[in-house]
Structure 1
Amino acid sequence: MASDIPKVVPLTCHGHSRPVPHINFSSTVEDDQYYLISACKDNNPMLRDGITGDWCAFPALHTPHTAHAYHKCHSGLEPSSATRAQYGKPVSRQMRIWQQPQLRTSPREYLPTHLQRTSPSHLTDLRFLSPYNSKIWDTHTGECKHTLQHSHICRAVAFPIQPSPQVVATGGFEKKLRIFDLTRSGGSNSSSPTSATPNNDASPSAVTSYEIGPGVHGGTIKSIVWNQDYNILTTAAEDRKIRWWDLRSRHPVVEYAVEGTIGSCELNSLAVRPNDAGILTVAAGRSVYLFDGLSPGRLLKKIDFRYEVASAAVNNETSRLVTGSAEDTWARVYDVRTEEELEVQKGHHGPIWSVSFSPDGKLYGTGSEDGTIKLWKACREPYGLWR
């Protein structure tokens, strides 16, 4: 069955010069406005108008290294707040930035720095400058507020879903899930690296951290999701396991093994369903797993495909699932209930590494190896530039 949405030309967002590994939309702000942030291997994250794709801001990375970045950003923009996070490791004096998560701000508050995870009141930026170090910056003043030390590449980060988060979770090649308390500075406890970390810039006081579930992860932590329940964290690792952690016990409450390499793990929720806990969407191997965002480990549905799925996003309001693959250049749209393919969206010239729905669910974006982002209309009525 074909889609009931009329076929229209997608909006193409140029500006990046290398592959785009991750994109994400903010929540809605005033006048139903929202934003889109993209990460790119050219080391230049971009902030755009989420409806039109117009460029808003271009945070520049200032480091002592030649930067070669991999970004990932989960966003939740809200008025008067700002934060982003970046993670990386210098290789031959190059800094690889792996993940850039959630924003809660208006674009007016952006400074020309690499913004990553946002804290509404602290307006902070988390990034890795010297080997294995991440820095939390005040994006208004440019002041470095905290240093988060690691002994290996940090690949993933998450802030709790709060107006002013005071903690941050990190994970990566150490195979350690860490919680950093941004309100407590000083020496880290036993969970911190024992080896000294080279420092190429001024270092404010280090932030106290502790490890959750020592020795449990059997591979690099590729994604961290902080659930609506503050006490629950979800991790996706290269050992092909999804784990839900209870911060009170510091142990996993549920563990689920997937049948393939994990491509993406995202919490999909819509502004039109404010009380909905969302759906945890995991792309792994030739399958997409849809988990209840409220009940840890509760699998709602598993959908199998004939191809390796690199990315996926679901719109729970319309029961639409969009996937990207490493094997071709197309985005495919499915009916979640019937598993029927409704549309094949062509236009990219490289694999699609990231898919994300807008907060109102009326369009979705795709980020590709070809260095472009495309915005696809997902509603019948006129919307945005589609008139």
Structure 2
Amino acid sequence: MKPLMLHGHDRALTQIKYNREGDLLFSCAKDSHPNVWYSINGERLGTFEGHGGAVWCIDVDWDTSKVMTGSADNTCRLWDCSTGVQLEQFDTRSAVRTCGFSYSGQLLMYTTDSTMGQKCEMRIYDSRDSAQIKNNEPMMVLPMPASKVTSAVWGPLDQTVISGHENGNIIQWDMKEGEMVHKVLDHSKQINDIQFSKDMTMFITASKDNTAKLFDTQTLTHKKTYKTERPVNSAAVSPLKPHVILGGGQEAMDVTTTSTRIGKFDARLFNLIFAEEFGRIKGHFGPINTVAFQPDGRGYSSGGEDGYIRLHQFDSQYFEFDIEY
């Protein structure tokens, strides 16, 4: 399994996202230039120019017509995917940490950091209401509890948003009422990433407490735990097989003092049901910050602190492999 190495970022990757068909891969990093790539050959299709700081999050809507990015330059921006032209800019009072399109692509969400005396809040917009977007007047503003949001995703049918927090809380918000529905504290440290299974009945969380955990989407019931010896920065559920992949490694600031062997910068594959590790994939020269499965499940990508994206296609042995039970 020889990966394609994509090098279009000067600094550490923060998030990668496939579009629904899986032919395009979107990436953002601590440099200010989000990129889009062809996933089949790793060719760079273009760059979204305009941000003036680290870009923390990126999302693409279901028909790949618009892209949304959130940055430390205190803006969230909306782009035309085919031309790379900026459509809208939402100015905020602090850095934008997470952003996302709802499943229908008609609602937008972003959250801001609690820095410089500003409170952490979640803002919701309706993309069909042009006046609302032009005047930067959200249809809903949800003030977040004591701990800031570090990861957030839309739930099924545009009805809920699930947010992960710095203190390990996972909270489900009702988008009709603008209220908290469920709140669980199964992680002891910051949640770095939340990703859904293909049918959105489950989601997986990656945390600094060295674990990834699987939850039920409706009730936030904790189902499984995947343990490692290093902080987990990102985790994804395979759409094809009962597998999950975890990316992480030692804290970025300690990396210079250890070799890659000790730093444990491998992507790790676990069985979804038995929570047993069955494979590791080496390659990155620093912690893996973000992982994503291809929508067809035949490969995955990872983005690391080293500024590289590695595009993997699974070998035939992977599809033949099954844990005996």
Which category of TM-score, normalised to the shorter sequence, fits these structures? 0.7 to 0.9
Structure (1 or 2) with the larger CA radius of gyration = 1
Q: Give identity over the alignment, percent.
A: 23
Q: 1:152 maps to what in 2?
A: 94
Deviations 1:21-40 (A, max 9, x none): 21121111xxxx62111112
* SS of structure 1 residue aligned to 2:158: coil
CA distance in 2, matches of 1:341, 1:49: 30
Q: 2:47 maps to what in 1?
A: 58
Q: 1:296 to 1:376 in 2, by over 3 A?
A: same
Say which of 89, 93, 103 aligns to 1:161: 103
Q: 1:179 maps to what in 2?
A: 124
Pairwise CA RMSD of aligned residues? 2.7
Query: Are 2:21 and 1:38 equivalent residues in the alignment?
Result: no
* SS of structure 2 residue aligned to 1:207: coil
TM-score (norm 2): 0.82
Say which of 11, 17, 39 aligns to 1:24: 17
Query: Are 2:309 and 1:373 equivalent residues in the alignment?
Result: yes
For 1:263, the aligned partner's letter is N
Compute the displacement of 1:16 (Å): 2.1
Q: Which moved more, 1:48-57 or 1:230-239?
A: 48-57
Query: Are 2:183 and 1:255 equivalent residues in the alignment?
Result: yes
Deviations 1:221-270 (A, max 9, x none): 1222111122111111213211111122221111111222212112242x
Structure 2 portions without partners, runs of 5+:
114-118, 251-262, 320-325
Q: 2:110 maps to what in 1?
A: 170
TM-score (norm 1): 0.69
Q: 1:206 to 1:300 in 2, by over 3 A?
A: same
Query: Are 2:233 and 1:310 equivalent residues in the alignment?
Result: yes
Deviations 1:318-375 (A, max 9, x none): 1112111231321111222232222221111111000100000010111011111112
CA contact (8 A) 2:164 2:171 kept: yes
Compute the displacement of 1:151 (Å): 2.8
Say which of 220, 224, 245 aligns to 2:152: 224
CA distance in 2, matches of 1:133, 1:211: 16
Structure 1 portions without partners, runs of 5+:
1-7, 90-94, 96-131, 189-203, 270-275
Compute the displacement of 1:54 (Å): 2.2
Q: 1:75 to 1:342 in 2, by over 3 A?
A: farther
Q: 1:358 maps to what in 2?
A: 294
Query: Are 2:259 and 1:326 equivalent residues in the alignment?
Result: no
Name the one with the larger strand percent: 2
CA distance in 1, matches of 2:70, 2:47: 18
Say which of 127, 135, 140 aligns to 1:205: 135
Q: 1:135 to 1:336 in 2, by over 3 A?
A: closer
- Correspondences of 1:275-354 after superposition (within 5 Å): 276-284=199-207, 285-293=209-217, 295-327=218-250, 328=263, 329-354=265-290
CA distance in 2, matches of 1:142, 1:50: 18
CA distance in 1, matches of 2:279, 2:85: 48
CA contact (8 A) 1:289 1:299 kept: yes
* SS of structure 1 residue aligned to 2:58: coil
CA contact (8 A) 1:36 1:50 kept: yes
CA contact (8 A) 1:45 1:71 kept: no
Q: 1:296 to 1:143 in 2, by over 3 A?
A: same
CA distance in 2, matches of 1:377, 1:183: 38
CA distance in 2, matches of 1:306, 1:142: 41
* SS of structure 2 residue aligned to 1:361: coil
Compute the displacement of 1:208 (Å): 3.6
Say which of 70, 76, 86 aligns to 2:55: 70
